[in-house]
Amino acid sequence: MNSDNNRNYIQIGNKAPDFSSIAVYEQEFIQIKLSNYLGKYIILIFYPLDFTFVCPTELVAFSNFYDKFKELNTEVLAVSVDSEYSHLAWSQMDRDSGGVGSLRYPLISDLTKQISASYNVLTSSGKSQRALFIIDSEGIIQHAFINNLDVGRSINETIRVLQAIQYVKSNPDEVCPANWQPGEPTINNNPLKAKEYFRSI
């Protein structure tokens, strides 16, 4: 699974590997198939394991911002190599005890580790890396990054990148500069018109 061909398959701009697996959502087991979400953007989160320390802080934070993601036509999906029974037990555990409580998006079981392997985020120890992918409404990977297992991700930065991706998709003649936020100037990708931006900074 770590061949050069597999790495090429998950490059930015390539189609996201499809998958189908059991998940926990609203305290029930449901079947999730990635391709069923075509037409929406996806924040696909991989995390190492249930019942750990950094992971619940991230998963709860993404749940707290779920309404914002919905406004942006985006669904959140989280994946780890735990079973659906582990996910259920963790979601039934109080947050003040290290649980995640009732999240507003599904926790997907990757017990076979095939999903993590297909996204090239499976560690040699058999856990998922702390990885995040933004998949557009056509099923194309537009953004990917991986943190050290000990370092949590920024939800605000995820939202900023998502908004930038959606902006340039709707405005193909423009690109977003460093630290761009919605409403700020963009750069026209015509060499002459781009000078207008650079003269303003």
Residue ranges of domains in the chain: 4-153
Q: Which residues are catalytic?
A: 55
> Which pTM does this prediction carry?
0.92
**Beta pairing class for 20-25 and 130-135:** unpaired
Domain 4-153 has CATH 3.40.30.10: yes
For residue 200, what pLDDT is reported?
81
Output the tens digit of pLDDT for each of the chain's 201 residues: 444 444 445 799 999 999 999 999 999 999 999 999 999 999 999 999 999 999 999 999 999 999 999 999 999 999 999 999 999 999 999 998 989 999 999 999 999 999 999 999 999 999 999 999 999 999 999 999 999 999 999 999 999 999 999 999 999 999 999 999 999 999 998 888 888 888 887
For residue 9, what pLDDT is reported?
56
Rounded to the nearest 5°, which phi and psi values hold at 165? -60, -45
Instruction: Name the token pair of 198.
Output: 């650079």
